[in-house]
Amino acid sequence: MHIWQVDFYRRPLQDELGNPLWELLICDSDNSFEFIAFCPQSEAKPDWLVGQFQIAAVGRSLPARVQVFRPPTLSLVELACQTLGIAVEPTRHTLALKRQLQQRAQQYPQQPNYSGQPYHPLLLEQLPPVPLSENLWGEQWRFASLPAGDLQETFSGRMIPILEMSEALLPLRLGLASTTPVPGVVIDGGRQSMRLARWLQQARPFALNFIAGQPDGLILEAGLIDRWVVATFEDAEVKTAAQMFEQRKQQSQGLHFLLVQPDDSGMTYTGFWLVQSDRDRP
């Protein structure tokens, strides 16, 4: 299936009159295709996007699906794709696009129309984290880790009802050494195990982050900008484990996992998600 990854948003650039410029950036997952176009902010509308998508498709076909990670971009792209009959997938798992955005952000200051405005290519407005509903709470949870070389074999061959393990995130694809610890969070869901796993599947996990505070917290980032409080804690040992979790994420290029299981017997798994946070990627 032919898929485009698309971002359409204002950049720290301006036109001759000093008006903000928006940039359309299109690529595919293996970086074999790239299309770039600019427009004044006043023209940043679905009709403009329709025309640019058609130009980008000259010599090739329109994609079957477009992936978008930025909420302000999503509504414009959805309207344009509705006109063209293209499916739209909201997802933060747009690795190729985000690499391109980071590379281009380094080039903007050298351009003559650079505005000098603060700019972070991947920054999204974050919502305050919301506590999980009580009917989703598991019986217990803990931090864990697995050697990168064992990760795929441990989970890919098992009968797991919900399994999210993108090939692009496999340790071998990321070039991780087989001995690199890949950190994770394990939740023993008990009777709520399947209910929790199904909720997570709908929420679309993106990353787990330790947030220091009073109390400390484990925050799930999901969807495009959703944030959920998985757990809060004040125990010193748990905080040390959380700090190690974050350190290992830095060593694993942000790669980590979330595992939901009925109990700690290791015999049955309910749901597994392999994820990678943006902030720990090189």
How many independent structural domains does the chain possess? 2
Residue 205 and residue 65 share a domain: no
In this prediction, residues 184-204 reach a mean pLDDT of 94
Same domain, 35 and 101: yes
Is residue 54 predicted with pLDDT exceeding 70? yes
Average pLDDT estimate for 264-272: 87
What is the percentage of the chain residues whose pLDDT exceeds 90?
79
Lowest-confidence segment of 45-54, 85-94, 145-154, 271-280 by average pLDDT: 271-280
92 and 177: one domain? no
User: pTM (2 decimals)?
Assistant: 0.86
The answer on 265 and 136 residing in a single domain is yes
pLDDT average, residue stretch 75-84: 97
Comparing 104 with 281, the larger pLDDT belongs to 104
Residue 51 lies in a domain: yes
pLDDT, tens digit (0-9, with 9 covering 90-100), for 104-151: 999 999 999 999 899 999 988 888 899 988 888 888 999 999 999 999
Do residues 272 and 143 share a domain?
yes
The whole-number pLDDT of residue 83 equals: 97
Check residue 279 and give its pLDDT: 63
Task: Verify that 144 and 216 share a domain, yes or no.
Answer: yes
Q: Please write the tens of the pLDDT for every residue from 143-185.
A: 999 999 999 888 887 889 999 998 889 999 999 999 999 999 9
Could you read off the pLDDT of 6-53 as tens digits, one per residue? 999 999 999 888 889 999 999 998 888 999 999 999 999 999 999 999
Q: What is the pLDDT of residue 135?
A: 81
- What percent of the chain stands above pLDDT 70? 98
Q: Looking at per-residue confidence, does 97 or 139 come out higher?
A: 97
pLDDT for 29 equals 87
User: Are 96 and 158 members of one domain?
Assistant: no
Reported as a pLDDT band with limits 50, 70 and 90, residue 1 is: low
* Domain end point (choices 82, 110, 138): 110
Host domain of residue 212: 130-280
Of 15, 13, 17, 277, the residue nearest 25 (C-alpha)? 13
CATH number at residue 43: 3.30.420.10
* pLDDT for 281 beyond 70: no
